[in-house]
């Protein structure tokens, strides 16, 4: 086989930051400065090209427009590379990974997001191992030349996850990410051990199709005992609101208040898509298990099953941008597009 080729896309994040002595905060440095800390890249038996956001961003500033920029970089150079690595801040990495998984339909090459909790210039940085292994995974091919992991993934602290299953779980531990409802796709120790039974295979003969349209008229509503009727009414009546990710209790339960069920039913009838996601990070919504869940189902609320909030929000944003009517959005929300929910 030829030498593998990987495109490294630098968007920003802690991995490429340094302390600003004047303010004491971490600030992004340019890509050349970051590459100076990585002489290891020259020792790879892989051709690595690079491309960078200018200026790099803290991922709190990520937007659908920037997701589109990343996707278009991948689309334009798709044929030239075996895989792609995206250096990204950890704060919104799971949102970007989820969004890209829905944008890149028929993906047959690895797109691996990684970053770090400590800047690459610090002695104890986790950035080097994360980046070096992410590049190896992006370049990894099977005997027939096809990609070993043809998915959008997050690689962090020795584990490779399906991107749209991840959540940032820690602000300070190296184990920054977790996939609470789906097992890792690979684990890195002395060797990188892949779990092919968990990895999606692309449908043969389909070309990459990139979806760019997002509609941000979505809110996340997190329930708690004592949720105010006045506030809920105002929320449901927001002009232009098209979808609500409702974070419920346990297996998808909400207070059986008449006003709440009435508001939900009326919003559904107006075409607002309401998706039920549990506040528990592990497990699935099962609206038929208890009465409070069943009432939601009867009010027109959809089950988000075991989806993460990040995945439900970005999937809704993309479907609202791409579909012609709420019925179509509801229908596709009930399917798994790229392994984001379990059936």
Active site residues: 14
Supply angle C-alpha 146, 113, 68, rounded to 5. 95
Residues that bind ligand ASP (CB under 6 A): 12-14, 58-60, 89-91, 115, 117
Strands in the chain per DSSP E: 4-12, 17-19, 26-28, 46-57, 83-87, 104-105, 111-114, 152-156, 159-162, 167-168, 177-178, 186-188, 192-194, 209-210, 218-222, 243-248, 273-278, 302-303
| Min separation Cβ 14 and ligand ASP, Å | 3
CA gap 12, 16 in Å, rounded: 6
Report how far apart, in Å, the C-alpha atoms of 242 and of each of 33, 96, 102, 278 are.
Answer: 43, 21, 19, 20
Q: Which is nearer to ligand ASP, 80 or 175 (CB)?
A: 175
| Min separation Cβ 120 and ligand ASP, Å | 11
Going by C-alpha positions, the residue among 7, 182, 133, 142 that lies closest to residue 81 is 7
Q: Which is nearer to ligand ASP, 130 or 278 (CB)?
A: 130
| Min separation Cβ 339 and ligand ASP, Å | 25
Q: Which is nearer to ligand ASP, 13 or 304 (CB)?
A: 13
Q: Which is nearer to ligand ASP, 2 or 172 (CB)?
A: 172
Supply angle C-alpha 174, 11, 89, rounded to 5. 25
Q: Which is nearer to ligand ASP, 1 or 171 (CB)?
A: 171
Tokens in use for 308? Answer: 């993460």
| Min separation Cβ 63 and ligand ASP, Å | 13
| Min separation Cβ 11 and ligand ASP, Å | 9
CA gap 276, 312 in Å, rounded: 9
CA gap 304, 313 in Å, rounded: 10
Which residue, judged by CB position, is nearest to ligand ASP in the bound state?
A: 89
Given the structure tokens 């047959």, which residue do they identify?
108
Q: Which is nearer to ligand ASP, 4 or 154 (CB)?
A: 154
| Min separation Cβ 24 and ligand ASP, Å | 15
CA 127 vs. chain centroid, Å, equals 19
């Amino acid at each position: 086989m030829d030498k593998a080729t990987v495109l490294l896309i630098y968007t920003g994040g802690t991995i490429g930051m340094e302390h600003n002595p004047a303010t004491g905060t971490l600030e992004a440095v340019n890509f050349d400065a970051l590459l100076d800390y990585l002489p290891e890249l020259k020792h790879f038996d892989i051709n690595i090209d690079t491309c960078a956001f200018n200026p790099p961003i803290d991922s709190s500033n990520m937007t659908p427009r920037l997701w589109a920029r990343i996707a278009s970089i991948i689309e334009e150079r798709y044929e030239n590379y075996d895989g792609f690595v995206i250096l990204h801040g950890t704060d919104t990495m799971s949102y970007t990974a989820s969004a890209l998984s829905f944008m890149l339909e028929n993906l047959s090459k690895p797109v691996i997001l990684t970053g770090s909790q400590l800047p690459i210039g610090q002695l104890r940085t986790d950035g080097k191992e994360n980046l070096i292994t992410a590049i190896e995974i992006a370049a990894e091919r099977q005997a027939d030349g096809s990609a070993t992991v043809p998915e959008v993934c997050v690689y962090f602290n020795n584990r490779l996850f399906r991107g749209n299953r991840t959540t940032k779980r820690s602000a300070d531990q190296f184990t920054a990410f977790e996939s609470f409802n789906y097992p890792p796709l690979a684990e890195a120790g002395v060797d990188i051990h892949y779990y092919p039974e968990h990895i999606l295979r692309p449908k043969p003969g389909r070309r990459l199709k990139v979806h760019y349209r997002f509609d941000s008229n979505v809110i996340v509503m997190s329930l708690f005992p004592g949720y105010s009727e006045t506030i809920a009414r105002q929320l449901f009546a927001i002009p232009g609101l098209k979808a609500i990710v409702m974070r419920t209790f346990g297996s998808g339960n909400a207070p059986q208040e008449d006003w709440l069920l009435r508001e939900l039913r009326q919003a559904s009838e107006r075409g607002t898509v309401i998706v039920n996601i549990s506040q528990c990070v592990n497990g699935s919504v099962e609206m038929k298990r208890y009465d409070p869940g069943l009432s939601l189902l009867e009010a027109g609320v959809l089950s988000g099953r075991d989806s993460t909030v990040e995945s439900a929000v970005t999937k809704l944003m993309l479907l609202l941008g791409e579909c012609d009517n709420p019925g179509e959005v509801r229908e596709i929300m009930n399917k798994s597009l790229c392994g984001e929910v379990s059936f």
